[in-house]
Structure 1
Amino acid sequence: DYHIQGMTIDTILQLVRLVLDNQYFVYNYKFYKQTQGGASGSLLTIPLVYIYLFYWQHDLLSNLINNNELFLRYRDEAFITWNRSEDELRSILTMAYTEFSQPIWNITEIGSTIHFRDIKISNDNGVLQTSVYHECMYHEPVLPPSLDLLQLPIQRNVWSWLRKSILKAIRYCSTEYSFKNELIHISIILRIHDFSDETFTQGHEEVIEDFGVTIRDEIACVPTYDTMRRHLFAYDKYRQIKAIKATQPPGPQQEIILQLPYPSNWDKTVIDNFEQEINHILKENFENHSQIKQLKIRILQTQENPFPIVHFLIKKRPDVNYLTLPDETKPKPYMY
């Protein structure tokens, strides 16, 4: 009887089976029905693969955790650390494969240095180090890396490309040495595309300024690069939290009602525009304030003003005797 978004589990399984049993494609002018697997990239196939891998990786994870190893998976690509023989690793993977009718992964690379997507991972005498990985062609690095296709082309927006490249270098490079090498690589790309060294220098300095790099930390003296990485990771965490909050329903909005005097020739349209402008200024200046950002100002239209508008706009000096009168004899202010 359990429901997921209004549907029973049995209904969901029937719909999945309906799709898997009715997959067709055309090849070489012939019409075929697919009897195993699913279409690559299908909106249904992708989550099914993730579910499949989730249950498959349980036994493998237990073995790795018991030996203090790492297991990382991004969609259908995985990375693991292994400090025993290669034969033992292949034996464990073979045993895991026997539980399912179809193969899960192909082993693409085993070694002390490998790449996982666009990150290079190496085991340096027991220390795991990372840096940016670049595809190579004819023994020369491809410029830019394959995953940089997701970025704006360098010729269209060099500042966006440069900033993303430097930030990626900070995130990926675990040592200052590899980071400096990546900066050299970025500067070479700029020169190839006829950009000056000043472009690189300015972009680099802006990143340093944005993340407040200082040589001396509040607690202890730390290397500048380590400080920059800590600041960037903190910024990434802040963005993740902000993105999560953006998906959550907004809380109750506090409303402030103001009864303000205004000229008699103002109609409802003018008042509404003025109200929108005030709320826009409030939102623009206090967007990150936890309480004020929830405020909303509403101006009520009244039939007549208690005072002439000129009474508020002209600076007047009170009589001296008014200032010296006892409190009980002073005229009461107008209340409305």
Structure 2
Amino acid sequence: MTTNLSVDQINRLLDRANEKDENIHISRSIGSTIEFLDVLVNNNHGQLHTSVYHKPAAEPYIVPFLSDHPRYIHRNTIKGALFRAVRLCSNVEDFDNERLNIELMLLLNGYPPKFVSYHFKKFFEQHNMMSLMNELNDDIYRELHRKLIIQPTYRERERERERQVYNKKEIRVLFTFESGPKLQLKRELYRLWKKYYIYEGSLVNDVKLKFSTKSNKSLNQLLVKKKPPRSMLVTNHTTTST
């Protein structure tokens, strides 16, 4: 947060807040530069600038998925990384440095250079900002930054999709992607659907099958210890009588 309160006043407020719940501890850092999660915020003479914060202890060149995942997962990895960089970097120089980090990360993890170049170009084409690939124009970049920062995130879109009315003309089929026999799953299910359910007078002639693949869990998901739900963190106060 930014405030005009004195340091002593801020410390007293945070001390009182820390006493409200013993399970939640508020750490404080006061200065012109501060990091929060994956954002680095810098106060430059009253102007706040943001960029991507890379934790020193974190491995900088690891991608979420490597193999045994559908092609769109690798495509979305590039798109998601660029989308995050634009949203977090408030000036074009910081974005360009982060773009180079993303490109290096992808190449070190075996992504083909042509594949990386194609999807970088496609990202800028999608947002009508191809000129940024050739020239670092701060005005053009700020327009892109403002445009993407107000767009809903993937989770926000998913929540909105869940609120929508159930579509009775659509059946969604979810399956885990695997290299091997499951590659033919979509084609085989379509064949069986048409053979046994699509015929004259069938009640499901207008129903469409929609296939969605779920990614295999990464080692991070399997091995990293997750934070337990809040209900487990709340201390249960019990009383006994004799």
| TM-score, normalization by structure 2 | 0.55
Inter-CA distance 210–235: structure 2 relative to 1 (3 Å threshold): farther
* Distance in 2 of aligned mates of 1:226 and 1:155: 37
- 1:1-336 equivalences under 5 Å are 80-97=1-18, 100=20, 102=22, 104-137=24-57, 142-144=59-61, 151-153=64-66, 158-213=74-129, 223-233=139-149, 235-236=151-152, 240=156, 243-244=159-160, 246-250=162-166, 270-273=199-202, 276-278=204-206, 280=208
Question: Deviation digits for residues 52-82 of structure 1, max 9, x if unmatched?
Answer: xxxxxxxxxxxxxxxxxxxxxxxxxxxx223
Q: CA deviation at 1:165?
A: 0.9
Partner of 1:46: none
> Alpha-carbon deviations, 1:237-277, whole Å to 9, x = none?
79846742532445999xxxxxxxxxxxxxx972135x744
Cα shift at 1:95? 3.8
Structure 1 CA distance for aligned equivalents of residues 66 and 87 of structure 2: 21
State the partner residue of 1:57: none
- Counterpart Cα distance in 2 of 1:237 and 1:190: 22
Work out the CA distance in 1 between the residues paired with 2:159 and 2:24: 33
Equivalent position amino acid for 2:60 in 1: L
Matched length: 174
Contact 1:121–1:130 at 8 Å: present in 2 too?
yes
In 1, Cα distance between equivalents of 2:76 and 2:100: 18
One-letter code aligned to 2:52? V
- Alignment CA distance shift 1:239-1:134 (3 Å): closer
* Bigger relative contact order (CA 8 A; separation at least 6): 2
Distance 1:231 1:82, change over 3 A: closer
RMSD: 3.9
Give the fraction of aligned pairs with identical amino acids, expressed as a percent: 22
Q: 1:169 deviation in Å?
A: 0.4
Structure 2 CA distance, aligned partners of 1:203 and 1:118?
24
When Rg is computed on C-alpha atoms for both structures, the one with the higher figure is 1
Q: Distance in 2 between matches of 1:159 and 1:165?
A: 10
Q: Contact 1:155/1:193 (CA < 8 Å) preserved in 2?
A: no
CA deviation vs aligned residue, 1:201-223 (integer Å, no higher than 9, x gap): 212111112233377xxxxxx93
* In 2: Cα distance, 1:129 partner to 1:155 partner: 39
1:179 to partner: Cα distance: 0.8
Measured in 2, the distance between the counterparts of 1:279 and 1:181 equals: 48
Contact 1:153 1:161 in 2 (8 A): no
TM superposition score normalised by structure 1: 0.42
In the superposition, relative to structure 1, how do residues 153 and 120 fare at CA in structure 2: closer, same or farther (>3 Å)?
A: farther
- State the 1:180 CA deviation: 0.8
What secondary structure, in the 3-state scheme, does the structure 1 residue paired with 2:199 have? helix
Q: CA deviation at 1:130?
A: 1.2
Q: 1:178 to 1:248 in 2, by over 3 A?
A: same
In structure 1, distance between residues paired with 2:68 and 2:141: 29
Letter of the 1:272 counterpart = G
Alpha carbons 1:97, 1:103 under 8 Å: kept: no
Q: Hey, what does 1:67 align to over in structure 2?
A: none
